[in-house]
Amino acid sequence: MAAAMGYQCVECGFAIRTLYVQYSPGNIRLMKCENCKSVADEYIECEFMIILIDLILHKPKAYRHLLFNVLNQKTENFQGLLRNAIFGFILLDGYRCMLLNWQEGERRGSSSSIISLFWRYRKVFMACLVGNSLFLCVFLLATRILLNSSLTFSRFRDLLLVILVSSYFKIFLIAMMVWEFPLSVILIIDLFVVSSNTVALKVTTGSSTARCLGVCFSAHCVKLIATHALELPQIMWKNNFSG
Which residue from 188, 219, 216, 192 is spatially nearest to 202, judged by alpha carbons?
216
Quick one: pLDDT at residue 184? 82
Q: How far is CA 136 from the centre of its chain?
A: 11
**What is the pTM assigned to this prediction?**
0.81
Quick one: pLDDT at residue 28? 85
Tell me the three state secondary structure of residue 91: helix
Which residue from 106, 131, 111 is spatially nearest to 231, judged by alpha carbons?
131
Quick one: pLDDT at residue 180? 76
Which residue from 117, 105, 143, 132 is spatially nearest to 231, judged by alpha carbons?
105
Per-residue confidence of the chain (243 residues) as pLDDT tens digits?
543 567 899 998 888 888 888 887 778 889 999 899 899 999 998 899 999 999 999 999 999 999 888 886 666 677 788 888 888 888 888 888 887 776 655 555 455 566 666 666 777 788 888 888 999 999 989 998 888 877 676 778 888 888 999 999 988 888 877 777 787 888 899 999 999 999 999 998 888 999 999 999 999 999 988 877 766 554 444 444 444
Alpha helices per DSSP H over the chain: 48-56, 60-64, 78-108, 114-146, 153-166, 184-205, 209-229, 231-242
| Residue 149, CA distances (Å) to 8, 60, 73, 222 in order | 20, 20, 18, 21
Dist. CA 23–CA 196, nearest whole Å? 37
Overall size of the chain counted in residues: 243
Query: 196 near 167, Cβ under 8 Å?
Result: yes
Query: 230 near 130, Cβ under 8 Å?
Result: yes
DSSP conformation class of 169: G
Which residue from 98, 92, 167 is spatially nearest to 136, judged by alpha carbons?
167
Q: Which residues of 92-109 are buried (b: 16+ CB within 10 A; e: fewer)?
A: bbbbbbbbbbeeebeeee
Quick one: pLDDT at residue 242? 46
Q: Which residues are 39's β-sheet partners?
A: 32
Q: What sign results for the dihedral spanned by CA atoms 164, 167, 169, 171?
A: negative
Query: 205 near 142, Cβ under 8 Å?
Result: no
Dist. CA 32–CA 68, nearest whole Å? 16
Dist. CA 83–CA 94, nearest whole Å? 16
